[in-house]
Amino acid sequence: MKNIVVFASGGGSNFQSVINAISSGKLEAKISGLITNKTGIKSIERARRNNIASEVISKKEFSEYADYEKALLEQLQSFSADLLVLAGYLRKIPDLIIESYEGRILNIHPSLLPKYGGKGFYGLNVHRAVIENGDKESGCTVHLVTKIYDDGPVLGQTKVPVFENDTPELLAARVLEEEHILYPKIISEYLKKLD
């Protein structure tokens, strides 16, 4: 069975969707650890409730960037990571990690990439831009992580309509529902390809 390590910076509802998919047998894997850059977040609580080890590794704790990269890499090795799953992780993954786990890092993004991807496009910023531009549809994208933000090959997308009376919050909630369905499904399919 493959080991997934989840990276999260906040509430971790996508982290929970992966936990749920494993519990229900829809996803055959084990979450061997959670890595976060923040203390006191709901993701850590979710990990604790599900007996998943968690580790806080923040760039701020290191005077040298290379030491930060090394600490992340060592933690991933101690978690025996086969696949890294980004679930609302608001930090760029260091190049050393991308090189070490090339083709084994997935991310979910709340837009139909390549639209509304890249630096600054996260959370409500994405949904606000979709509404301001008058788009008729939005959605979510699962993609492979490369050294460029939100630029890796697309593995799956789900579309949702954008309604005239939508607010960024309403659209975000509708997209998030689809994220919780799409992400575990794509992770499962991708793990089968890794075998």
Tokens, residue 129: 């831009």
CA nearest to 171, candidates 161, 156, 179, 183: 161
The active-site residue out of 109, 127, 143, 180 is 109
DSSP letter string over 72-97?
Answer: HHHHHHHTT-SEEEESS--SPPPHHH
Q: What phi and psi, each to the nearest 5 degrees, are found at residue 168?
A: -55, -35
Catalytic residue flag (residue 109):
yes
Task: Count how many Cα atoms sit within 13 Å of the Cα of residue 176 in the half-sphere of its side chain.
Answer: 20
Answer for the pair 186, 179: CB distance below 8 angstroms, yes or no. Answer: no
At position 153, the amino acid (one-letter code) is: P
At position 20, the amino acid (one-letter code) is: N
Answer for the pair 138, 159: CB distance below 8 angstroms, yes or no. Answer: yes
Give catalytic residue positions.
Answer: 109
